[in-house]
Amino acid sequence: MNQIRRDDEGYLIDPEDWTPELARKLAAEESITLGEEHWLILDFIRAYQAEHRITPDIRHVAKHLAEQTGRDKKAGKARIFELFPYGYVKQTCKIAGMKRPRAWSTG
């Protein structure tokens, strides 16, 4: 992972460097072991980024997670913060290999 360039906050300089194995290593740095729901979120973020060329706002991710797991949107958002307890941007976007968003909403 030393060859992978990251910024001062640990986000990838080049999102093309991302791999699932790298995601597991980035998650481990955050004391997270990735499970099925983590991957639902990470895969959605990466697909959304590829299609829209922007990191999705948490409300889109919460809606997706809710739809995939049979929760309502409010419960989906709460679950994101259970899975990534230090925040959507700090952990979710970093582990998904996104560059640090310039502006974002945490809720």
Q: What is the pLDDT of residues 74-93, one digit of tens each?
A: 999 999 999 999 988 889 99
pLDDT on residue 2: 57
Q: What is the pLDDT of residues 50-60, one digit of tens each?
A: 999 988 989 99
Higher pLDDT, 61 or 103: 61
Q: Give all domains of the chain, ordered by start, each with its CATH number.
A: 15-95 (1.10.10.370)
Cβ burial of 93 (10 Å; 0-12, 13-18, 19+) is buried
Contact status, residue 55 vs residue 49, Cβ threshold 8 Å? yes
Neighbours of 8 (CB within 10 A): 6
pTM over 0.95: no
- The dihedral over CA atoms of 34, 35, 36, 39, expressed in degrees to the nearest 10, equals -10
Mean pLDDT for the stretch of residues 41-49:
96
